[in-house]
A and B are shown apart, each in its own frame.
Chain A
Amino acid sequence: MLYREAGQFKTSYAADQQIFPILQDRVGIAVIAAIALGVLPLVATEYLTTTILIPFLVMSIAAIGLNILTGYAGQLSLGTGGFMATGAFAAYKLSTAFPDLNIVFVFLGSGVITAFVGVLFGIPSLRIKGFYLAVATLAAQFFLLWLFNKVPWFTNYSSSGVISAPPRAIFGDIMVTGSSAHYTAKYLFLLVFVGFLALAAKNLTRCHLGRAWMAIRDMDIAAEIIGIKPLQTKLSAFAISSFYCGIAGAAWAFIYTGSVEPLAFSIEISFKVLFMVIIGGLGSILGSFLGAGFMVLLPVILTNAPHILGLNIPVDMISHLEYMIFGALIIFFLIVEPHGLARLWQIGKEKLRLWPFPY
């Protein structure tokens, strides 16, 4: 009863083509935005902000990126970690080479550089498909990490191979990166960025580019026969997906951890982002957020659970158990809802249309 579109008539196609055509959705998103922008910065502790909120936002960007490639364009990729590393190192090189460059442009620039790298590794996708392509993207993962490890130029010849985010400010004096930045400033800066990126992704996926991606995903041969150029479409997906992953990597290095080595973007990260996309829901921007939230919270809960339960388990045992439970939960989740959290939300909405009077 409370949530339904009945009575909300659309008198123009433009009105019907809004992102949230239903009033309740618009109210809902406004409330979420108000909480994220207005309430959380005031009440969230440093622990909550730095261990949950910021990594959640960073991983959301990566999940949106991979979702564009895998969920919308149907190209399975295991190279996310490599592309994130590219973004992190590109941001580092950009900000140290041009110290006056605004941090916003540093991030965007690192995304653009990563997009080029993504296109390079996307070229084989014209000839190879499915799992063959997935394995091929592992080449990107391993090669890129090796490159950043081996070539000292990328770390400005630092002996440890670790890069540290230089302090940068926006609006003149509000520090958003580096050790002196306040966690709330970092969070808000990232939040605004994520907002714009999510909006852009949603728009792209509902315009003709997004339809071309989905057409290639659902049936590449038919897509080509109705005039969609396969190579161009696939490469555009690789480019835009890598753009997002690159920004996610830059945000990881500059805002989340502050300093980073190539190893941080190992294949584990690639798998994690893929899990986010699948658990959240393939082909859903909302799902990318839900999946990222799930995957960021799960380890935090697993790590703290024995402590809360008062169990005394040796540390290395805990990490093994974490692995086990993590694996089991993934399988459990895939069995219960293979279409992801976004589908659950969809089903919930359908139920809400009738609730509380189901007859």
Chain B
Amino acid sequence: MDFLYNFFISPFVQIADSPLFFVEVLTGGLLSGVMYSLVALGFVLIFKASGVFNFAQGAMVLFAALFFAGFIDKGVPWWGSLILTIGVMVLLAMTIERVVLRPLVNQPHIILFMATIGVTYFLDGFGQTVWGSSVRVLDIGLPQTPLEIGGVLVNKFDIIAAVVAGSLVAVLAVFFQKTRVGRALRAVADDHQAALSVGIPLKTIWAIVWTVAGLVGLVAGVMWGSKLGVQFSLAMVALKALPVLILGGFTSVPGAIIGGLIIGAGEKVAEVYWADAIGGGIEDWFAYMLALVFLLFRPQGLFGDKIIERV
């Protein structure tokens, strides 16, 4: 009975008691959801353009953060580190395209997926071989102090993260919709063979997409790194981005954003109000369960097209 009370009644009593606190929790959740969206965005870009489920996105986040923090620790100014890291990510994207994707073209999706898990292992090992496995503090001067807006306390850092993510999406949207490369990308996403047949250079496109995903990973890495410190567990944020993906749909940029917000908010609320009833540490799986329940009602994700099956 205690459990039922704690599960079904007590949380709502608490919410009703202090709605302002609830709003605070919700806002905090939404803003940290933005961080998930940042990682999910990288997945979506690659899946859209090449149909590859890139498990290595999380490793790319860690990899970028490791190099960025590593350069800064070596005394390079932050803008120099940024340029160097961008260089590293471009190089990485080109190497992946040349060494992994090109030989595996036309293989089943599951093989490519496995290859990206191989890339994950490689990057995790390589990054730490070069930079070591100790935790690095990444301070790029972002404030961690809370800010009061209409009686609700909000972390300044989270707001900055939201602004960064928002501008990133805007830039990507313009890139996809308005540029020639963007149009080619959308064509490739629709149909590889058809795109090839009208003379779109698939290899270049893939290298570009992986570069862009790498840069998105860099932004995510810098944000996550300055929040949590640069360490191996950053690679695990990728696992948090996966439920965001199935919620938003693998191919939808807005889906990645909205999905991230839902997961972030849901997770935070559950953690604050329901963790007592079912025991702590639910953040490992709660997002997955949330996404799963969601999928049962909308199998194509939030923004996916309705599936019409043909034979």
With contacts A138-B239, A222-B311 taken as known, whether A146 is within 8 angstroms of B282 at the C-beta atoms is yes
Interface residues of B (CB under 8 A from A): 53, 99-100, 103-104, 107-111, 113-115, 117-126, 128-129, 133, 239, 242-243, 245-246, 250, 279-282, 284-285, 288-289, 291-292, 295-296, 299, 301, 309, 311
Interface string of A247-277 (1 = CB under 8 A from B): 0000000000000000000010001001100
Contact A335 B114 (CB under 8 A): no
Contacting pair A127 B122 (CB below 8 A)? no
> In whole angstroms, how far apart are the Cα atoms of A222 and B122 in the complex?
40
Query: Assuming the A-B contacts A124-B296, A131-B250, A139-B289, are A320 and B281 also in contact, with contact meaning beta carbons closer than 8 angstroms in the complex?
Result: no
Mask, A298-325, CB within 8 Å of B = 1, is 0000000000000000001100111111
Distance A267 CA – B235 CA, assembled complex (angstroms): 13
CB atoms of B110 and A320 under 8 A apart = no
Tell me the dominant secondary structure on chain A's binding face: helix
The stretch that binds B, out of A60-68, A198-206, A326-334, is: A326-334
Contacts A135-B245, A138-B288, A324-B125 known; A331 to B299 CB distance under 8 Å? no
Q: What's the Cα separation between A329 and B309 when bound, in Å? A: 39
CB pair B121 A330 closer than 8 Å: yes
A335 contacts B103, C-beta separation under 8 Å: yes
Contact A327 B295 (CB under 8 A): no
A278 and B110 within 8 A (CB) = yes
Q: How far is the CB of B283 from chain A (nearest CB, A)?
A: 10
> A143-B285, A327-B118 are contacts. A150–B279 as well, Cβ < 8 Å?
yes
6 interchain residue pairs of minimum CB distance: A323-B125, A327-B121, A327-B122, A324-B125, A330-B118, A139-B288
A320-B118 in contact (CB<8A): no
- A142 contacts the other chain (Cβ, under 8 Å)? yes
Chain A min CB distance to B124 (Å)? 5
- How far is the CB of B219 from the nearest CB of chain A, in Å? 23
**A138–B284 alpha-carbon span in the complex (Å):** 10
Task: Report chain B residues within 8 Å CB of A145.
Answer: 284
A-B residue pairs in contact (CB < 8 Å), sample of 14: A135-B288, A136-B295, A138-B288, A142-B284, A274-B114, A320-B128, A323-B122, A323-B125, A323-B128, A324-B121, A326-B122, A327-B121, A334-B118, A335-B100
A179 at the A/B interface (Cβ < 8 Å)? no
Q: Collect the chain A residues with CB atoms within 8 Å of residue B113's CB.
A: 131
CA distance A130 to B120 in the complex (A): 20
- Given contacts A143-B285, A146-B285, A267-B239, A278 and B114 within 8 Å (CB-CB): yes
> In the complex, which residues of chain B have a beta carbon less than 8 angstroms from the beta carbon of A222?
311
Is the beta-carbon distance between A331 and B111 smaller than 8 angstroms? no
Bound together, the chains give a CA A71 to CA B13 distance in angstroms of 49
Question: What's the least CB distance linking B70 to chain A, in Å?
Answer: 14
CB of A139, distance to nearest CB on chain B (Å):
4
Q: Write out the residue numbers on chain B whose beta carbons fall within 8 Å of the beta carbon of A31.
A: none
Shortest CB distance B37–A (Å): 16
**Chain B residues with CB under 8 A of A335:** 100, 103-104, 115
A19 within 8 A of B: no
Give 20 new A-B contacts, CB below 8 A, not counting A131-B109, A138-B242. Answer: A70-B110, A134-B53, A136-B288, A136-B295, A139-B285, A139-B289, A142-B284, A267-B239, A278-B110, A278-B111, A321-B125, A323-B124, A324-B129, A326-B118, A331-B119, A334-B104, A334-B114, A335-B100, A335-B103, A338-B111
A150 touches B295 (CB 8 A): no
The docked-state distance in angstroms from the alpha carbon of A148 to that of B117 is: 27
Query: Are the CB atoms of A331 and B115 closer together than 8 Å?
Result: yes
* Minimum C-beta distance from A261 to chain B (A): 15
Residue from A76, A146, A323, A330 in contact with B115 in the complex, judged by beta carbons closer than 8 Å: A330
Q: Name the CB-closest residue of A to B125.
A: A323
A316→B133 contact, CB < 8 A: yes
Contact with B along A73-87 (1 / 0, CB 8 A): 000100000000000
With A and B bound together, what is the CA distance between A70 and B111 in angstroms?
12
